[in-house]
Every structure is written in C-alpha cells, then in structure tokens.
Structure 1
Amino acid sequence: MRIGIDVGGTNTDAVLLDGSTVLAETKVATTEDVTSGIAAALAALHAATAHDPGAVQGVMIGTTHFINAIVQGRDLAPTAAIRLGLPATEALPPMSGWPARLVTAINGRSYLCHGGHEIDGRSIAPVRRDELERAAEDIHAHGVHCVAISSVYSPINADCELEAAEILRELLPDTSISLSHQIGRMGLLERENATIINACLSELASHICHGLGQAVSAAGIDAPLFLSQNDGTLMDVDHARHYPVATFASGPTNSMRGAAFLSGLRDCAVVDVGGTTSDVGMLRHGFPHEASTEISVGGIRTNFRMPDVLSVGLGGGSRVREDPLSIGPDSVGYRLTQEALVFGGRTLTCTDIAAAAGIADIGDRGLVRHLERSFVDAVRARIAEEIGAAVDRVRPSAEHLPIVAVGGGSILVPDELPGVGLVHRPAHHATANAIGAAIAQVGGEVDKMYSVAPGERDRLLDEAKQEAVDKAVAAGAKPDSVQIVDVDEIPLAYLPGNATRIRVKAVGDLVLSG
C-alpha cells in the first residue's frame, strides 16, 4: 500500500492505494501552516478506511510550500549569487529584472568573478581563488548562509562551478551551495535566477522536510517519504532538501498524471479545476508536455523543467460578480466553507452556482434559491467558454484530442466544450492530484551537447539512452520497468562538428520494500 497526498491552495487531498486500487480518498481544508493539514488528511484517511500504518510502503507528497514562499516573498533565506563569467557578462548583474520586493526578501547580494566557457567548450577565463576569497569574506560578514553559483555555459562544461564550490566549501563550511548546471538549462540569466531561487529556499526546505517527516511519523507510518517533482517523477526527501525548486509545479503535474492513470489515456488534454484556479495542459505518452520557453515564477524568469500548463483564475472558490458578469480571478480559497453562500457566508462563488444549478450537492442549497436561473445559466456558459478557450490555446493542433476533467471543481466543466470536444470525467476524479502523487514513478534525464561524426548518430543516441536508464535505476527505479519516454535531438547549425543537443528521459516504477 502507498499513500498519495497533494496540497492545494484550497484543499489537501489524500488517497490510499493498494496496487492500482483506490481503497480510500479524502479531502480536507488546507491549513495556513500546511503541515497540520497533512496530519488532518492522514487522520481522515484512516477514519475512512481503517488500515495498518505499518503496511504502508511509501508516502508521496506534492506540496505548495515552496512555490507559495516565492510568490508571497516569505520565509526566504538571505542569499548571495556568485557569477563566473568575467571579463564577459558585466552588463546585466545577477538578479537583474527581479521584483524589488523579492531582492529585499532575500537580502540579495551578488558577486562577479572570472570563469566560464564558450558554447563550444573553450574557456573564457580560469577561476580566480583570490576573488572567491574576497566574496566569501563579505558573505560571512553579512551572515549569509546560502550561495548560488552560476557559470557561463555550465550545462556544457561545469568545471568552473565545481571548482568554485570546492573553494567556497573550504572557506564557508556551514554554507548551503546551489550549482546552476544541476538546476537549469541553457540561458545564463534564467538558469542563474532558478539557482538563486533554489538557494534562498534551502533553509525552508530543511524545515519543511523535517515537518513532513514528523507529520507522517505521528500517524504511525514508518515508510519512505517522497516529494513530487515538476516532471511527474519522485525524489526522496533528502534530495528535496537540496532541490526544493524541483517541486514548484508538482500540483498540476500530479493532477495530469492522475488523469492519465484514471482515464487510461496517454495523449489528451487535462483540465484540473481546483478551488482557486483551473490548470490546463497536454499529456504526451502519459507525461506532461514540458514548456520549451522560460517560465515566470513570482515575476522572475527561469528555465528549469516545468510542465507547459496554462492557469486561469477559475475554480470552485472563485468569486462571481453579477453586474457586469465576471468570474474570478480572486478566490476565497481555503475559506470556502466559511464564505460561500451555501455555507452561510456572504460571497457568491462558483460552488454556489454549481449548487444552484443542481450539479453539486454541497452545503445548504436553500441558501441559493434566490439566484435567477438565467443568471446561473449565463455563469455556466461563461465557465465553459473560458475553459474551452484555455484548452484551445494549449493543444498543439486543431485536431480534437480527448479532454479529461479532474479536481474537486471539475463539476463546473460541462460534458462537452463547444468547438473543443467531449469531456471525460473518470471515477475518483476529485482526488486525481493525490492519485497522481501516489502512482508517480522515478526518472533519469540526460541533456547534453554531442559532436556527431558521420555514422555515429545511432551510437550516441544509444549511449544517451543508457545513461538516462542508469540514472533512473540509481534514483530507485526497478531495472526491468524502466522505459524511454522522450527523446529530443536539436542540431546546432552555428557550431562546428555537427553539434547536436540530445535530451533523453527515462522513467520506471519505484522499488518499495515489503
């Protein structure tokens, strides 16, 4: 048995799975500290179906802790950014383009030092220890314990970052260090931004991972704890402490993976309607299609792995206004049971519309009898229009693909979206996000530059695939379950030697004891 938990802005969902069978599911209100909400969800799960906590083999959690910290600018550690690129890259220093409030929130400090490589691997300049010693002295003087190191074209050659990290660990032994080649992709500023974000979350990550472990242990569960990653795979809690940025999109990713599992569809559009937003994305081979451009997080441009998801401010808790008619983007969130009309509150929400239309049996429907039927129909039509437009924007072609609606608010989605197609609503759709966490696999990825000589393409592809498989197995995948799910080849015509960027992703089932 395994337990999947997904923490959303409004609800925390939990499911108990035995193989592919859903034994129990529950949905509780997300709490401000999140961790106590997880404890409540585990208790509710046990109340729904009594089970032996000792029989649970793994707990998989998708959490909003870290993305919320960045968006809200809270609980962030003072952070220093060291860029290795002199004598180049002086025009735009680290944290250029950041919102001023976030630079202030992390007490951001930056240092430019020599180092880095050209795109063809040639050295720009060697790393200079004296520069790093001066930076370390200033970092220590200001009480900073988190450092982000970025080097020009480090995804191609990471030697400068590794050398600088070794020097700084010697000079600042108690400092948490994040390296950009382990976090982002090509594009210095975006990769550097992602690394700084990861670094400023490192202290919070240690605290949160400890809290999650305590919540699980308090429920009597002695099983490995995993966190969901942006690409739909899992990482263990120790890995999460070092790479909290990898959890940012775990919510919509879990929902999409859960939709694939519940519907049996591997290529489709998924509409996940929660309490605050509707997230729309595409599944390809059972995994979310990844964004090919930079992603903005809290107003900061980044380029780490994120699913290509379009979020619209429409959910079960979205406020509805009558004149003129508007829906969201603001939401009552986890206060739904206090503020919605059907619960005796004073705010008209999409949940009230669903109750008035007779498509949801929630709260006291007598409290929304005063709503005119024509108004209720107009709101439902607007909801269908907005969700249909979102699906139309994310699908790769005009071809009608299956649409799967999941999430607690998916009752708001009609059975057919005009001009888009029929909507599938599988069993257990309300907790698809927690199911997606529970059934998540582990993966390995290779993203490298190769010089492809004539007749060498197949050999290099096989080499990259085997490396991805080996990484998945090292991460905890059953060797005989690992499959290659994605291969990309991008010829780089502006480089000599038939340079090609090859990206391979492999996934497999997690090995669990017992």
Structure 2
Amino acid sequence: MNWQSGLRIGIDVGGTNTDAVLMQRRVVRATYKAATSYNVSDGIIRAIETILAQAGEDVSAVQCVMIGTTQFTNAFVERTHLQRVGIIRTALPATKGLPPLLDWPADIKAAVGGHVAMVPGGYQYDGTSNSALDERAIANAARNFKAAGLRSVAITSMFSPVNGDMELRAEEIVRNEIPDAAVTLSHKIGRLGLLERENAAIMNASLADLAKRVVQAFRDALIKLKINAPFYISQNDGTLMSAAHVEKYPVLTFASGPTNSMRGAVYLSGEQDALVADIGGTTTDLGVLTGGFPRESSMTSDIGGVRTNFRMPDILALALGGGSIIRADGKEPLQIGPQSVGYRITEKALIFGGDTLTATDIAVAAGYADIGDRSRVVGLSADVVRDAVALMHGRIAEGIDRMKTSAEPVPLVLVGGGSILVSQELAGISRLIVPDHAAVANAVGASIAQIGGESEGVYSYAVTGRDAAIALAKQDAVKSAIAAGADPDSVEILDIDEVPLAYVPGGAVRLRVNAAGRLRLTADLQAARP
C-alpha cells in the first residue's frame, strides 16, 4: 500500500501545548491539543491514543509518524541540559585573533566551553590548502578533552563547506583517542561564515546527550503503543530527517515549530504565496510563504544570544498571544504583554474564572470570539475593550508591514489557537483566511513535511561556466535529498541562491541550492523504525 494513502500521524511537542493530527491523504481524521506533559513520552502516548480512538483506527494502520519539537531550542535558550564541549578549530595561522566563543554570553559560555584547541589547517575558498593539518596537535587536544571528562567534541575548519576532508580526518584522530565521543563537524551543519558555523557546531555538540534522550523518549512512546512504523522529526526548513540524524544534529530542529505551522497553513488553506500569522499563547510568529515553503532568512540567526548561519526561516516574533496579559489601570497607557499566562490560560483568564485580564478575554468581550464564560467579561469598560482590540490589530499590522517586500496586498493565513484574536481587516492584506483545523496547523505541517537536501559551494564561473556550475549544484542538492530518504522521482529544486564573491578572483560565486521530495518508505529505510 502506498504510504500516502495510509494513516500518518503528525505531532508537535511545544513548550506550552502538544498538538497531534491523524491524516489520511488530504483529510484530517482527528485532532488533539493539550498542555505539554513533563514526561514527553507520556504526552505523545496520550495524544496518539486519543486521535486513534477518535477515528476508530488501530495502531496497525499507522504507516508513518512525524514529530516536531522545541525541546532543543528551549534547552539552549534556557541554558539547561547542556554538556561541556571540546572545541577544535583547524585554521591557523589564519583566524588567530578571533578565538572560538568570542561573542558568547558569559553564562552559556561557562556552561559549554572552556576547552579550546586552535591548530594549523583549513582551506581557501577554492578548496586549496591554507596550511597542513597538524595531526599531532589534534591528538594532544583529544587526550586533554578525555582527561577533562569531555565526551562531546566540535570540529571546525576554514572553508570546510567547500572541502570537508580536514574535519573528517580530525574526527578520525579524535575517535582514536575517545572512541565513544559525540563529534560534530561544522560542514555538516553550517555555511561558509567561519564564526557562525563554528557556533552552530558547538551548540550542536552541547546538545548531544539531550538529543539521545529525547529521541529515545519518542522511540519508547511508539514502542509502548506497538506502532511498528518509521518516525521522522521535522527540521527548520520544513522538511524531515530520520531519528538517527536528529541524534547527530539536534540544532537542525531549531525554529521547526513556526516552520511546521507555516507548512500546515499551506496545506490547510491551499495558498502557496502568502503571509502567515501563527498566534499562540505568548507570541505571534509572522512568516512569508514562497512557493509553499517558508522564506529563508538571509541574516545570521541569533539563538539564545549566539549567532549562527545554518538555514532558518525568516520569522518575526511579536509579543502578542491569546494569554498576553492586559494592563489597563486608567493611569498609564493600556499595555498588552509581553508577559503571558501561557498554558495556564484556562485557569488564569477571566472567562475561565481566573483573575487576569488577557487578550482572549478582550476578544470574547468584543463579541468576535466564543469561548469560556462571556458573562465574566460583560463588565469590562467599553473603552478598554475598544482600545485593546485596536492595539492588538495595530501590532499585527505593523509586523505585516515589516515582513512584506512590496506594497502589493497579499493574503494572510491565520493559524494557531490564538487566531481568534484577529477580526478586522488589516492594512496591506488582500484577504484574511482562517482554515479549518487552524489551531493544530503545526501538527498538520509536521505530518505532510517532505525530505529535503541542500548543496553549497564556491564555483568559478570563469572556469566552470555559470550553467555548468548551477547544474552541478542542483545535482548535489538532489543527491542529498535522495540520500536523506526522498523518492527520487519526486525531488524538485526549491530555490537557488547566487552570491558573487566580490573580493575573490576568477568570477567566484557562492551557490546554494535547496531541493525536496516526498518521503520514500521502502525496505532501505527500516533503520528509521522504532
């Protein structure tokens, strides 16, 4: 049976809620939303049991499970569950004046770093050697890491996305000294910029133990439910990766939550090119859809105060959600957020018998949302309600203006549990769309995600020619997607990014190509099974 005609489960484990959907072809068979449990495995089990019971289906009918999670993002931002990392940079004599962890916040630098080795090595932009790799220095560094009790190592080499051989050789040397080490190679994660790529590698290495625990929790949940189907985890570009890949590269899940919501918005609304507002309990995440995929950020991304350069969606987060606290004492100007009651909205908001005025209370009092007990907000000042409604819509309109690249009106798709906050027309919007099942768009996005691949390199158009260089880059991206588990017949090129390198001779251009295709479910993917 074609897996796409069978049952697929999409789950999004967020910091506030765990959402789940049961999908068959393009039909949403059942949905689930509940507060995220302390034990992630228990929450997943409860979600799957609920949606299968709703649909009257047995676990044997499930053909694939896709999971999105914020566990790794939250751990890094909150400085929890991180491990110390041994850091090796092969780039001397270059980069000596800019050591690793240079601009990291002091608290996270203390939690993660401190053991750094800078050794000769690395390449130039065209893949030629910068200096010979000092293998003895790497072996000495590995022995020092082992003596310090370190079991996670990040290795970065200059221009390694162009030529990763020195990082691969450094890994061999480290494993000779520390056989059980978790080793992160920067060229597997980041892009050409050395410091940002190195930061991403160190971040990833600091999450190595947590990645194994989280993935095992997912695996245990499916085993306990007797679901004998592959499971995949969504990454931040809207595509999927295997559980084994997540254990190696947990940072690739960063920002997968907003990305899943945007992909779910495409699926539920049918809009390929639009703005998306994912309104949750605390924030509104605004993004742009281009050809059905989130617009990629062209800037370095800041995660917990650390700059990185791996692929991330272009997201604008506004401090406005369904649980945002309203302050209106009549003395100071009315204020919404940034504080929020978050997942406690059902006990804190006025409409649920609480004592805190929230954005959801305002929506109910204004008459355009029907949730909770409206009688509890009938006594609110009409001026407060009017001003709060205007402020909420004004804040979203301002965010929309910041995300648009032209003055032309565009569609806006509203998703997330807080989508009830918007009721009025917004400037710059051609039409407002709230699709069915908007509250669980993130889980829908996880369930329909594709397998992606990327290639990046520096090419000399003077030597290779533009057409030939682009053809090679496309070929590499397609191979990458197929290797990750995409059906070869379905892989398509999503975008091509050309950046001329003005100060490099020979007409050098940095080419980055993204490709994606449908998940291939065949015998060679059995390693993905729990």
| TM superposition score category, shorter chain reference | over 0.9
Say what the alpha-carbon RMSD is for the aligned residues. Answer: 1.7
Deviation readout 1:31-75 (Å, 9 max, x if unpaired): 234433222222321332221111111111110100000011000
Alignment correspondent of 2:182: 176
Matches within 5 A, 1:55-134: 55-134=61-140
Alignment correspondent of 1:394: 403
Question: For residues 513 and 111 of structure 1, what CA distance do their matches in structure 2 show?
Answer: 43
Mapped contact 2:121–2:130 kept (Cα < 8 A)? yes
Deviation at 1:6, TM superposition (A): 1.1
Alignment correspondent of 1:311: 317
Q: Secondary structure at the match of 1:57?
A: strand
Matches within 5 A, 1:29-48: 29-48=35-54
Deviation at 1:79, TM superposition (A): 1.0
Q: Does structure 1 residue 481 correspond to structure 2 residue 487?
A: no
Question: For residues 25 and 357 of structure 1, what CA distance do their matches in structure 2 show?
Answer: 28
Structure 2 unaligned segments of length 5 or more: list them. 1-6, 524-530
Question: For residues 410 and 495 of structure 1, what CA distance do their matches in structure 2 show?
Answer: 49
Give 2:434's match in structure 1, choosing from 403, 425, 429.
425
Under a length normalisation based on structure 2, what TM-score does the superposition of the two structures give?
A: 0.94
Mapped contact 2:410–2:428 kept (Cα < 8 A)? no
Question: For residues 455 and 446 of structure 1, what CA distance do their matches in structure 2 show?
Answer: 17
Question: For residues 509 and 112 of structure 2, what CA distance do their matches in structure 1 show?
Answer: 38
Q: 1:385 to 1:504 in 2, by over 3 A?
A: same
Q: Which amino acid aligns with 1:165?
A: E
Under a length normalisation based on structure 1, what TM-score does the superposition of the two structures give?
A: 0.96
Question: For residues 193 and 278 of structure 2, what CA distance do their matches in structure 1 show?
Answer: 31
Alignment correspondent of 2:4: none
Q: Does structure 1 residue 448 correspond to structure 2 residue 457?
A: yes
Alignment correspondent of 1:225: 231
Structure 1 unaligned segments of length 5 or more: list them. none
Q: 1:41 to 1:479 in 2, by over 3 A?
A: same
Mapped contact 2:86–2:150 kept (Cα < 8 A)? yes
Q: Secondary structure at the match of 1:127?
A: coil
Alignment correspondent of 1:159: 165
Q: Which amino acid aligns with 1:158?
A: G
Q: Which amino acid aligns with 1:173?
A: P
Question: For residues 131 and 170 of structure 1, what CA distance do their matches in structure 2 show?
Answer: 14
Give 1:408's match in structure 2, choosing from 414, 417, 435.
417
Question: For residues 268 and 437 of structure 2, what CA distance do their matches in structure 1 show?
Answer: 8
Question: For residues 157 and 409 of structure 1, what CA distance do their matches in structure 2 show?
Answer: 46
Moved more, 388-397 or 474-483: 474-483
Q: Secondary structure at the match of 1:126?
A: coil
Mapped contact 1:9–1:333 kept (Cα < 8 A)? no
Alignment correspondent of 2:337: 328
Q: Secondary structure at the match of 1:98?
A: coil
Alignment correspondent of 2:57: 51
Deviation readout 1:316-358 (Å, 9 max, x if unpaired): 1111111331111121222222222222222221122222223
Q: 1:469 to 1:122 in 2, by over 3 A?
A: closer
Question: For residues 93 and 476 of structure 2, what CA distance do their matches in structure 1 show?
Answer: 35
Give 2:393's match in structure 1, choosing from 384, 387, 395.
384
Deviation readout 1:238-260 (Å, 9 max, x if unpaired): 11100100001110000111111
Q: Does structure 1 residue 301 correspond to structure 2 residue 310?
A: no
Deviation at 1:463, TM superposition (A): 2.4
Q: Does structure 1 residue 22 correspond to structure 2 residue 32?
A: no
Q: 1:371 to 1:264 in 2, by over 3 A?
A: same
Matches within 5 A, 1:199-210: 199-210=205-216
Mapped contact 2:126–2:458 kept (Cα < 8 A)? no
How many residues get paired?
514
Mapped contact 1:74–1:105 kept (Cα < 8 A)? no
Question: For residues 32 and 312 of structure 1, what CA distance do their matches in structure 2 show?
Answer: 26
Q: Secondary structure at the match of 2:514?
A: strand
Matches within 5 A, 1:464-475: 464-475=473-484
Identity of matched residues, % = 53
Q: 1:371 to 1:216 in 2, by over 3 A?
A: farther
Q: 1:442 to 1:406 in 2, by over 3 A?
A: same
Alignment correspondent of 1:458: 467
Mapped contact 1:444–1:475 kept (Cα < 8 A)? yes
Q: Secondary structure at the match of 2:53?
A: helix
Question: For residues 133 and 249 of structure 1, what CA distance do their matches in structure 2 show?
Answer: 36
Question: For residues 494 and 136 of structure 2, what CA distance do their matches in structure 1 show?
Answer: 46
Q: Secondary structure at the match of 2:23?
A: strand
Moved more, 39-48 or 299-308: 39-48
Mapped contact 1:452–1:500 kept (Cα < 8 A)? yes
Question: For residues 500 and 188 of structure 1, what CA distance do their matches in structure 2 show?
Answer: 17
Mapped contact 2:408–2:428 kept (Cα < 8 A)? no
Deviation readout 1:224-282 (Å, 9 max, x if unpaired): 11100110000010111001000011100001111111111111111110111110011
Moved more, 248-257 or 394-403: 394-403
Mapped contact 1:9–1:276 kept (Cα < 8 A)? no
Question: For residues 466 and 91 of structure 1, what CA distance do their matches in structure 2 show?
Answer: 38
Q: Secondary structure at the match of 2:232?
A: strand
Moved more, 354-363 or 209-218: 354-363
Question: For residues 373 and 35 of structure 1, what CA distance do their matches in structure 2 show?
Answer: 46
Alignment correspondent of 2:508: 499
Deviation at 1:450, TM superposition (A): 1.3
Moved more, 111-120 or 429-438: 111-120
Q: 1:376 to 1:37 in 2, by over 3 A?
A: farther
Question: For residues 124 and 465 of structure 2, what CA distance do their matches in structure 1 show?
Answer: 24
Alignment correspondent of 2:281: 275
Q: Does structure 1 residue 353 correspond to structure 2 residue 362?
A: yes
Give 2:254's match in structure 1, choosing from 248, 254, 258.
248
Moved more, 232-241 or 376-385: 376-385
Q: Which amino acid aligns with 1:260?
A: V
Alignment correspondent of 2:528: none
Mapped contact 1:118–1:124 kept (Cα < 8 A)? yes
Q: Secondary structure at the match of 1:93?
A: coil
Alignment correspondent of 2:153: 147
